Amino acid sequence: MHIDVTYTSITVSYHRGPNADPITVLRVVGMRTQDFTRLERLRALVTDVSRTTIPVEEARVRFDAVVTAAHPYRRWLVTTASAVLAAAVAVLIGGGWLVTLVSFVSAVAIDRSTHFLYKLGIAPFFAQVIAAAIPTATATLLVVAATRGSGTAASIEPSLVVAAGIVLLLSGMSVVGAAEDALAGYYVTAGARTFEVGVLTLGIVIGVSLVLSIGNRLGYYVAVTSMTTLEPSRALQLGCSFVIAAAFAVSAYAVGRAVFMSAVLGTVAWWMYAALTGATLGAATSAAIAAAVVGLLAQAASGRLNMSAIAVTTGGIVPLLPGRAVYQGISQIVSDPETGFVTGMTTLAGAAGIGMGLAAGVSIGSYFGGLIGAWRFGGTLPRIAGQRRRDGDEPRASDARADVDGFAGSSDDTGALTPVRPPGGPT
């Protein structure tokens, strides 16, 4: 049996011996979504199949029930979680309560518009352009209100509204996913993910530039500054990290313990990252070390609490994603097209370095967490990405648990379950 998973297709080929033709099936993944509850149910099914003898028809019925089950949350709750995430980002970058409120409302509009556009079949690039225009248009309206004598609008920093909205759109998880695939040796998928990051980021740049150009022609200039500073209170930073990780977990349809563990690990990750950067370590190195701890703790928690490690790991590293750095690079390019391109590209390269550090840290932490779990419970050692089981080796339940953690969703909320590879996991 040979299985190949790329970014948009799954190929399964069964070699039936020297006297029979192989059977090969190809499935193209047209739509993707992220649903950690389906992941948990799929994980439980594969574990049951590996431990007991289940008829094929029964397993097929159970599998169909998993992938066709409704999401655990209604859409309005997912929209609220996305808006809470954006509001927490606004607080984290030093916005007051008015900026937080405006960012919340703007994020609701972004989520509902992108969801509607995806249902219409609009390409992600154009959806990204429209979504990026929403917070920029909101900032422009604030400038209009301020010029007409509104003291409330004048007290709001428009740049922070744009920053909070754009961070919600940034494909930071795609950066980490691309780095994970590249480090694991899956260069086709890594190349596809990297190109997607570039296309979606270009959509953000076009959306922001378009609205700013219209505002400038009408005489309403929005000063989009790249200099955003973090909230000085460390306690408030940790609280925002807790909320960001939990909100992301809810928006990815995680439930119960997975939401709580994601929030806890997100707080731990931010605390370590802040401490290491304060000790003059680089941002990429600090992110890598913090992500390694998250991967290690997620593996330990998944074994004890019977939940998928990748769901907890993904939520735990969300506060560390290089969204603010990507926003700074974009704003440098947009605000100064003549000389800001070089500076902006340098900033974006630094954001890519942080993404690589997160991917490497998660992979290393998850792998050593699996080693510790195998040593404690007497299971087989986890296989490095791409490593095959030797012929004649008997599959064990621990192998199935490792394999099923490789099935998770992408960041688009548009449809069916998508298999992607976990940090350091097998094909």
- For residue 395, being part of any structural domain is answered with no
Q: Are residues 116 and 149 in the same domain?
A: yes
User: How far apart are alpha carbons 288 and 30 in whole angstroms?
Assistant: 33
How confident is the model at residue 322, as a pLDDT? 81
- For residue 382, being part of any structural domain is answered with no
- For residue 373, being part of any structural domain is answered with no
Q: Are 228 and 327 in contact (CB under 8 A)?
A: yes
Q: What is the mean pLDDT of the chain?
A: 80
φ/ψ bin of 306: left (φ > 0), alpha (ψ from -120 to 50), beta (otherwise):
left
- For residue 376, being part of any structural domain is answered with no
Whether the predicted pLDDT of 394 surpasses 70? no
Q: How far is CA 368 from CA 193, 222, 291, 382, in A?
A: 26, 49, 13, 9
User: How far apart are alpha carbons 323 and 305 in whole angstroms?
Assistant: 31
Q: Are residues 124 and 64 in the same domain?
A: no
- For residue 389, being part of any structural domain is answered with no
Residue span of the structural domain in which 41 resides:
36-70
Q: Are residues 58 and 135 in the same domain?
A: no
- For residue 147, being part of any structural domain is answered with yes
Q: Are residues 43 and 155 in the same domain?
A: no
Whether the predicted pLDDT of 363 surpasses 50? yes
Confidence of residue 411 (pLDDT cuts 50, 70, 90): very low
Q: Are residues 227 and 275 in the same domain?
A: yes
Please tell me which of 2-11, 216-225, 308-317 the model is most confident about, judged by mean pLDDT: 2-11
How confident is the model at residue 60, as a pLDDT? 93
DSSP 8-state symbol, 395: P
Whether the predicted pLDDT of 413 surpasses 60? no
How confident is the model at residue 406, as a pLDDT? 35
- For residue 419, being part of any structural domain is answered with no
For 418, phi then psi, to 5°, come to: -120, 125
User: How far apart are alpha carbons 107 and 251 in whole angstroms?
Assistant: 13
pLDDT digits (tens, 9 = 90+) for 262-302: 999 999 999 999 899 888 888 889 999 999 999 888 888 77
Average the pLDDT over each of 33-37, 93-97, 239-243, 305-309 and give the range with the smallest value. 305-309
Domain boundary among 49, 70, 91: 70
Mean pLDDT across 115-126: 88
Q: Are residues 237 and 311 in the same domain?
A: yes
Q: Are residues 10 and 155 in the same domain?
A: no
Q: Are residues 136 and 59 in the same domain?
A: no
Q: Are residues 302 and 334 in the same domain?
A: yes
Average the pLDDT over each of 168-182, 325-339, 377-391 and give the range with the smallest value. 377-391
Domain boundary among 345, 367, 389: 367
Domain boundary among 367, 386, 410: 367
User: How far apart are alpha carbons 343 and 360 in whole angstroms?
Assistant: 26
CA-nearest of 110, 103, 335, 320 to 205 is: 335
Average the pLDDT over each of 147-151, 180-184, 362-366, 398-402 and give the range with the smallest value. 398-402
Q: Are residues 24 and 160 in the same domain?
A: no
- For residue 237, being part of any structural domain is answered with yes
How many domains does the chain divide into?
3
Q: How far is CA 369 from CA 31, 152, 183, 310, 381, in A?
A: 32, 51, 18, 12, 10
Q: Are residues 25 and 145 in the same domain?
A: no
N- to C-terminal Cα distance for the chain? Answer: 12
Q: Are residues 62 and 94 in the same domain?
A: no
DSSP 8-state symbol, 417: B
Q: What is the pTM of this model?
A: 0.79
How confident is the model at residue 328, as a pLDDT? 80
Whether the predicted pLDDT of 375 surpasses 80? no
